[in-house]
Amino acid sequence: MSQFIPYGKQFIDEKDIEAVETVLKSDWLTTGPKVDEFENTISKYVGCKYATVVNSGTSALDLAVHALKLKNGLEIITTPFTFAATSNSIIYNNLIPVFADIKEDTRNIDPEDIKRKITDKTVAIIYMDYAGHPCDIKEIKEIADENDLF
């Protein structure tokens, strides 16, 4: 008999529940001092000047692509083997997703195929780690640097 492997498991204690309850009982539900506190904590933790939180990974991807301020019709190389939000973030910003193949062993984007997909319209690469297998970020970063891509 096979055993169920959970998609994810969280740890929530009474202190966490009390903190959420305090916010839910306040006048601030989607904005306010706790959001500012969280953004400031995140920016300090990662060592950047600013941090912005959003409601979902989809919104985060859309905002990240939008922040690049790219001209309409340019191309971003990504993987087709991910949630639709990845390619949608490109399309939402009037850009063109170009799909690079994946590696058979990890199901991650194949750096060699990224190289083959680069054209004069390519401006960025969006990669995703798949199922706990990290991409070869160093190699992807080298490809991006060599081709002046985000």
Q: Spell out the domains of the chain, with CATH numbers in brackets.
A: 1-53 (no CATH), 57-146 (3.40.640.10)
Within 13 Å of residue 51, how many CA atoms lie on the same side as its CB? 15
Residue 82 · residue 130 · CB < 8 Å: yes
pTM above threshold 0.85: no
pLDDT of 29: 81
Closest CA to 62 of 84, 80, 88: 88
Q: What is the pLDDT of residue 88?
A: 97
Asked if residues 125 and 150 have their Cβ atoms less than 8 Å apart, the reply is yes
Strands of 25-113, DSSP E = 75-78, 96-99
pLDDT in tens, the chain (150 residues): 668 777 778 899 999 999 999 999 999 888 889 999 999 999 999 999 999 999 999 999 999 999 999 999 999 999 999 999 999 999 999 999 999 999 999 999 999 999 999 999 999 999 999 888 899 999 999 999 999 999
Cβ–Cβ under 8 Å, residues 109 and 140: yes
In this prediction, residue 133 carries a pLDDT of 87
